[in-house]
Amino acid sequence: MPLADPGPIIAQAHARGLAVIGANVSTIQMVRGVVRAAEDAQRPVLIQFNRSGLSLIGGVDIAAHVVKSIAEDSEAEIALHLDHADTLDELSAAINAGFGSVMIDGSTLPFDQHLTLAQSAKGLVTWSRLSLEAELGHVAGDEAGVTIGDASWTNPDEAARFVEATGVDWLAVAVGNTHGGPAVGGLQAERLQAIRDVAPVPLVLHGASGLTDDELRVAVNLGVAKINVGTALHQAAARGMADWLSENPNDLRGALSQSEVAVREEASTLLAATWAFGG
């Protein structure tokens, strides 16, 4: 089917107390694996690219074409999202290419500069009716294509002001989660609840790989409607290729196919579990 609008997918999940996976990918095989997993689980999914993923696959236009083509041959509800852009030019390129939602990441900027950047991004996307995500506080860690610095936890009072002043549709929060590695001290549930109480928009959790299933279930119950997954999918793809090449060292085509199988298996587990977190 045609690419879906991410806005209603996230809004409906939020209203039902559920969460949707935002799957960060870098290759055609990873896209195919995630889409096949969405078919298996009969769940919606957002296919996401950050700067590193876009560079590997060949840019925003190729990324959009690949995802559109694979989605059109599928019965799954597939949407396309730009992750961790920090310039308006990146947003414009993705919008023109056909991305359904975008993220502006000014999380390492001083608050007032960040607010101004997000306001400009909201103005840019308003005419196209795309959903805009922003991150307040800063999720640290180790992930290709993402600006990494020291963690800075989201301040609930700033979150209330930021959402009201910018009109962002989704707010990514830093509440103990970490890109590409173990969580820092675990989920800060009280902080997350305080943010939920003053910021009436779907919340997004980046860097959720280090949180336990119980912590993710609590997060979804406290307003998280999108959980981004990147590291686990890339590790699965690499593991699938490595396992194949260890037995078939000259068969790159087979290794690429096996990376798709491994991503499909990993994404299937994540999709089934994440949807259940709202239960």
Catalytic amino acids? 83
What is the DSSP secondary structure assignment for residue 154, as one 8-state letter?
A: P
Q: Note whether 68 and 97 are within 8 A (CB).
A: no
Give, as one character, the DSSP assignment of residue 86: -
- CA 268 vs. chain centroid, Å, equals 16
- 94-131 burial, b if ≥16 CB within 10 A, otherwise e? bbebebbbbbbbbbbeeeeebbebbbebbebbeeeebb
Measured CA to CA, the distance from residue 151 to residue 128 in angstroms comes to 33
Query: Within the chain, how many helices (H) and strands (E) appear?
Result: 11, 8
* Contact call for residues 153 and 174 (beta carbons, < 8 A): yes
